[in-house]
Amino acid sequence: MDITQILGYFGALIIGVVLGLIGGGGSILTVPILVYLLFINPVTATAYSLFVVGVSSTFGAIQNIKKGLVDFRTAIVFAFPAFIAVYITRRYVVPAIPSEIVTFGNFTLTKDIAIMVFFAIIMLLASISMILTRKETTQTSKDFKFNYPLITLEGFVVGTITGLVGAGGGFLIIPALVLLAKLPMKKAVATSLLIIAIKSLIGFIGDVENLEIDWTFLLSFTTLSVVGIFIGSYLSNYIDGKKLKKGFGYFVLIMGIYIIYKELF
């Protein structure tokens, strides 16, 4: 095992630690770690990422359910169109993308490059979401209006994006739950983990039918991430995750810019 592989497995642990500390965002690192440190092609990496994200989010969701923080009605309304969209995207859309999309002079936009650039754009959006602080909502039951059509539409859009890049999409889900379902921030974060778990694992089923999965590697990588979650959860008793979130957001921003530069130039 060379140094990059060691760093790759260490990265799996870091993914979990970040998730445990700040409650999200760590999954955005999964694809870059798999592609650039463990040299897995982007299509397979996004598939593996769905599994890692799905399993990791499940552990977080179980903890939140025990605390009574999950809004099941909102989770079901959002998750149903999301998992349909992510399954269709992984099962049919991703395999249908041609290996060479378009050529500009000496540059050829391949499927792998397109996926990584689109992923980097999602990283940039996620970083902005982490850097900017959100105000806690103080919505009461009197002015509550559950917006079913928009939540369903948002679920479908997030599911499609998740299917393409293999990331959880919490930075898109949480604002939607706050604005459309009128959930307080703490409940929105907790509910988003359940939604991410459901749609990621069902989306991964679409990949099992298309790709040859290295289960030994995937399960060992995922196990390290889960161990990292418990470490991060323990450290969160001593470290303020909110203060770390903005710093991590800047790190993700730099990573996103680096990926775009690396893939295009």
Give tens-digit pLDDT for 119-161.
999 999 888 888 886 665 555 444 556 778 888 898 999 999 9
> Nearest to residue 222, comparing CAs of 197, 240, 245?
197
d(Cα 50, Cα 205) in Å, to the nearest integer?
10
Looking at residue 55, its pLDDT comes to 92
Q: How many residues does the chain have?
A: 265
Q: What does the pLDDT average to over 73-101?
A: 93
CB 134 within 8 A of CB 179: no
Q: What does the pLDDT average to over 11-18?
A: 90
pLDDT at 198 over 80: yes
Looking at residue 225, its pLDDT comes to 92
d(Cα 25, Cα 37) in Å, to the nearest integer?
19
Looking at residue 126, its pLDDT comes to 87
pTM for the structure as a whole:
0.87
Looking at residue 138, its pLDDT comes to 52
Helices (H), strands (E): how many in the chain?
11, 2
Tokens, residue 151: 């939540």
